Amino acid sequence: MNATAAIGVTGLGVMGRNLARNFARNGCTVAVHNRTAGRTRALIEVYGDEGTFVPAESPEEFVAALERPRRLMIMVQAGEATDAVIDEFAPLLEPGDIIIDGGNAHFADTRRREAALRERGIHFVGTGVSGGEEGALEGPSIMVGGSAEAYDVLGPMFETISAKVGGEPCAAHIGSDGAGHFVKMVHNGIEYADMQLIAEAYDLLRQVAGYTPAEIADVFRRWNEGRLGSYLIEITAEVLAHTDPETGGPFVDIVADAAGQKGTGRWTVQTALDLASPVTAIAQATFARAASGQRDLRAAYAGLPGGTRPPLSRTEAERFTSQVEHALYASKVIAYDQGWKMIQDAAAEYGWKIDLGTVARIWRGGCIIRASFLDRIRAAYAFDRDLVSLLGEMEFAMEITDAQVPWREIIASAARRGIPVPAFSAALAHYDTLRADRLPAALLQGQRDYFGAHTYQRVDRPGTFHTVWTAPGRPETTT
Ligand code: 6PG
């Protein structure tokens, strides 16, 4: 077999197949391999005319087809399946070759694999690929980890097949070892928060404004023309406008209200807890999915009292809708700010040098959270690379100021009416926590010192202190 393939893709599920097609459509010679050879043959039969494919029926044949340095992309289930494929192919590779993992792997697994393969001189490049099946084929957002040396080889190919916005590729080297998969994980966490915030806005417009799904679709279409414009807002309008062919009623009303999750949002929250990085909107979005699936608990709570719901007039509904837009936008800014802060916290923890503006740049297209909003974030970090918070950027700060009254009104109204808005509430609580000049954490420190002698700091002088709560006069000691 002549080594002519610029890249090889093993694992021809929908994502792997579409990435292979994308590379081939863009002029790459692509070696393709799948554990069950039938999938390889099917790809060639159906899509063989899209470009130059080199089908391989065995790992040896597959590797032999790759020009050096070999670039081998794994597109299989995260976890053990990925380890199994690495174990199968690594012995066939030579120093300088590159294994790319394009699955939704956990970044800690990627760091482990990268270190192990580096010992053998093989580059391991954990790569977040966002945009689903269509994105993989037409142009995803590609978050590349691993070494800069490997990106020198891979970058031009990934930038060619990625989505483009303003002529710029939505692909970049994010940082070393697991940085690419980490940022993809945070992308998915932000996706959870974004989707939950949109769902809560829908629920408020349905239950408080009294709009039909079709009317709410029109509201989202209008919002999609403005500062909330995004892929998720766009598809929300489509989903809400859809009529169920069987019942003739709104599609959204025949869908079971228990949300699934493959796990990347959960990973984001677990990792944030380890980093002590408060991604509270992402956490509430993830827990909201779990709560929606707790059928027994929901049955036990059904019918319990929860506020009154006076109807709104058309005029009041229109004003309410404008307030929801402010609340949705403000909550979205906070949720995204939490995500970017988590990336900064991880970069400090894991020694990654991540350009925060680049993250925004490559998320402007191809990925699930693609939005014009990301242009604003990119510009904010381009203006100040060390920006601590998006709220340090004047325009965002002004928009949050404008949103104060409606944001708070909406959450208060939801509470009075017994409508759950966990992500809206978490975003506002986070905002108020960070802006407070004194937090009740002072009392927590006193309680911890009382029952566990966990000590505390004082505001009026340096040092670490403990009060001897059981002694007469409760004297304070320094430790
Ligand atoms: C993407 C998506 C994708 C994710 C699906 C399902 O960036 O293309 O985020 O990676 O797997 O959205 O995710 P959940 O099942 O966790 O909602």
Task: Catalytic residue, from 184, 200, 341, 393: name it.
Answer: 184
For residue 176 and ligand 1, the question of a CB distance below 6 A is answered with: no
CATH topology for 441-478 is 1.20.5
Q: How many CB atoms lie within 10 A of CB 83?
A: 16
Residue 422 near residue 411, CB atoms below 8 Å: no
Domain range list for the chain: 7-177, 185-349+365-435, 441-478
Bridge-based pairing state of the strands 171-173 and 168-169: unpaired
For residue 264 and ligand 1, the question of a CB distance below 6 A is answered with: yes
Q: Is 45 exposed, middle or buried (0-12, 13-18, 19+ CB in 10 A)?
A: exposed
Residue 110 near residue 185, CB atoms below 8 Å: no
pLDDT digits (tens, 9 = 90+) for 19-56: 999 999 999 999 999 999 999 999 999 999 999 999 99
For residue 154 and ligand 1, the question of a CB distance below 6 A is answered with: no
Nearest CA to ligand 1 atom 7: 130
The span from the CA of 143 to the CA of 18, in Å, is: 17
Question: Which residues lie below 8 Å from residue 365, measured CB to CB, with a gap of 6+?
Answer: 139, 141, 162, 163, 164, 165, 170
Classified as helix, coil or strand, 89 is helix
Nearest CA to ligand 1 atom 11: 262
- With tokens 């289930």, the residue in question is 77
Supply 376's token pair: 């604003």
What's the sign of the alpha-carbon dihedral 132, 136, 140, 141? Answer: positive
pLDDT digits (tens, 9 = 90+) for 352-405: 999 999 999 999 999 999 998 999 999 999 999 989 999 999 999 999 999 999
CA dihedral 149, 154, 160, 164 (to 10 degrees): -60
Supply 275's token pair: 């980093």
Is 191 a residue of the active site? yes
As a whole number of angstroms, the longest Cα–Cα distance in the chain is: 88
The span from the CA of 116 to the CA of 106, in Å, is: 16
* Matching fold, domains 7-177 and 185-349+365-435: no
Question: For the domain 185-349+365-435, what is the CATH code?
Answer: 1.10.1040.10
According to the model, what pLDDT value does residue 1 have?
Answer: 64
**Position 379: which residue type?**
A
- DSSP H helical ranges for 304-372: 314-350, 356-362
Distance (Å) from CA 188 to ligand 1 centroid: 6
CATH topology for 7-177 is Rossmann fold (3.40.50)
Residue 359 near residue 340, CB atoms below 8 Å: yes
Task: Catalytic residue, from 67, 149, 191, 246: name it.
Answer: 191
Residue 411 near residue 425, CB atoms below 8 Å: yes
For residue 262 and ligand 1, the question of a CB distance below 6 A is answered with: yes
Is 184 a residue of the active site? yes
Long-range pairs of 88-96 with CB within 8 A, sequence gap ≥ 24:
88/59, 89/10, 89/59, 89/62, 89/63, 90/117, 90/120, 90/122, 92/59, 92/60, 92/63, 93/63, 93/122, 94/68, 94/70, 94/121, 95/120, 95/121, 95/122, 96/68, 96/69, 96/121, 96/122, 96/123
For residue 134 and ligand 1, the question of a CB distance below 6 A is answered with: no
Supply 389's token pair: 């918070």
Low-confidence ranges of the chain (pLDDT < 70): 1
The span from the CA of 372 to the CA of 353, in Å, is: 25
Nearest atom of ligand 1 to the alpha carbon of 260: 15
Q: How many CB atoms lie within 10 A of CB 244?
A: 13
